[in-house]
Amino acid sequence: MTAAHLPALLDPATDPALPRRIAHLDMDAFYASVELLRYPQLRGLPVVIGGGRRRLDEALREEYAETPLAEIPVRAFPVLKDYVGRGVITTATYPARQFGVGSAMGMMKAARLCPQAILLPVDFDQYRQFSRRFKAVIRDISPLMEDRGVDEVYIDFTDVPGGQREGGRVLARLIQKSIFDATGLTCSVGVAPNKLLAKMASEFNKPNGISVVGADDLQALIWPLACRKINGVGPKADEKLKARGIHLIGELAARERDWLMQTFGKRHGAWLHDAAWGRDDRPVVTESEPVSMSRETTFDRDLHAVQDKAELGAVFTRLCEQVAADLQRKGYVGKTIGVKLRYDDFRIVTRDQTLEAWTADAATIRQTAGQCLKRVDLDRRMRLLGVRVGSLVKTAEMPDPASKPALASVKRPVDAPDLKVQSLSLF
């Protein structure tokens, strides 16, 4: 098998004059980098962000109330080795990553790997502000931009000046510099014939890197990667692939399409085959619609459904109110209500229920989520509880205006258009 006949497969179906060039841009160590803007004295040091609430540096700020933040001495900052609790790291600076510390790792574990790392609490409002700012910079230069979450976007470079020069490097450099000038933050960009390859490419030269992947690079750059690097192959799918001896993307590409379709289902098998061969013709979508909105919380201590009934009930109600408020603020109603639980042994279970009518009403969400909760094992203690509302449509686009004011229930007509499936991360 060679990649010699790949260019034909990757030819853009549309304008043959200009090859399709899609960029994926991802901010470097995003939360941590935003924190370093206010604490520049921590540059070059291992720093991790975690701990849920802004309380770790409150003492610090009180003690140094008269001192500008940038002048607080490094020795005054809290370090991981003094941390006691159950928090999880959201991200780590690159110097901290050298110790093996990274996203989603428990802080106690991270403390063993890098006790001297400085620990700062999360400040979502600040990250959201910077998220909006860097995206505005991109839109000014290259308006066809798809928002993929707090720190990443896809950009269609095809028709933008500089988007075809040096395979897209010229435009990528301009965007990187403009973001840095506007925010002081660095990012990494991958440019490729499609989203799938661009997403992988943006990781190749992190941090502050640019990487261009062409059709000819498939064999050399993509096939040696683990299947898990394909955006869309999650841990479960990866396990299934491994069980059949498929570890690398190249091994996946080597399998017969028909065999993959028989083994993994028609659609998924075909998609796996296309992905391994670098084929993806999804467009860059400027208006992204959320699929669902959710809120979740990790308890300070594990709670039991019976022994901690009151506390758990209050948390549950609050989560439902928060999701309802998110929906109403953003102008959405949803039909599928779900709960997520993490037990004390870290197992996760989810249950959902689809309503007859759309809703953004806290009481309806609470009642339905309560029904879902009845379907899970409540004998075990819980670490985490979450509430999700899915199958969203925009309240403003509801086809039956008479039912609009009553956010609680609106019947979905039979001919309602399918939802665009996009994700939006909500914190």
Catalytically annotated residues: 152
Backbone angles phi, psi at 413, to 5 degrees: -70, 155
Task: Report the partner that residue 31 touches, choosing among Mg ion, ligand TTP, none (CB closer than 5 to 8 A by kind).
Answer: ligand TTP
Q: From the list 21, 80, 90, 153, which residue makes contact with ligand TTP (rule: CB under 6 A)?
A: 90
Among 151, 156, 326, 361, binds Mg ion (CB under 5 A): 151
Give the nearer residue to Mg ion in terms of CB position, either 199 or 366.
199
CA 47, 52, 56, 57 dihedral sign is: positive
What type of residue sits at position 21?
A: R
Among 103, 328, 336, 422, the residue binding ligand TTP under the rule CB under 6 A is: 103
Which of 3, 24, 31, 230 is in the footprint of ligand TTP by CB under 6 A?
31
Q: Residue 143 — φ and ψ, nearest 5°? A: -65, -20
Contact partner at residue 393 from Mg ion, ligand TTP, none, CB < 5 to 8 Å by partner kind: none
CB of 123 to ligand TTP, least distance (A): 12
Give the C-alpha separation, 1 to 139, whole Å: 41
Q: What are the tokens at 205?
A: 């030269």
The CA distance from 384 to 340, in Å, is 8
Least distance to Mg ion from the beta carbon of 188, Å? Answer: 8
Residues 89, 109: Cα–Cα separation, whole Å: 10
Give the nearest distance from C-beta 28 to ligand TTP in angstroms: 4
Question: Would you give the DSSP letter of residue 121?
Answer: -
Of the ranges 21-29, 68-76, 290-298, 374-382, which one interacts with ligand TTP (CB under 6 A)?
21-29
Residue 35 binding: pick among Mg ion, ligand TTP, none (C-beta 5-8 Å cut-off by kind): none
Torsion of CA 190, 196, 200, 205, to 10 degrees: 0
Nearest approach in angstroms of CB 126 to ligand TTP is: 12
CB of 26 to Mg ion, least distance (A): 4
Candidate residues 147, 152, 156, 361; the one interacting with Mg ion per rule CB under 5 A: 152
In the numeric block, which tokens belong to residue 186? 């660095």
Restricted to residues 232-261, the positions that interact with Mg ion (CB under 5 A) are: none
Contacts 24+ apart (CB under 8 A), 253-258: 253/1, 253/223, 253/277, 254/1
Q: In whole angstroms, give the CA distance from residue 410 to residue 57.
A: 46
Of 102 and 370, the one with the shorter C-beta distance to ligand TTP is: 102
∠ CA 100-151-300 to the nearest 5 degrees?
Answer: 60
Chain residues in the site for ligand TTP (CB under 6 A) = 26-31, 90-91, 103-104, 150-151, 206-207
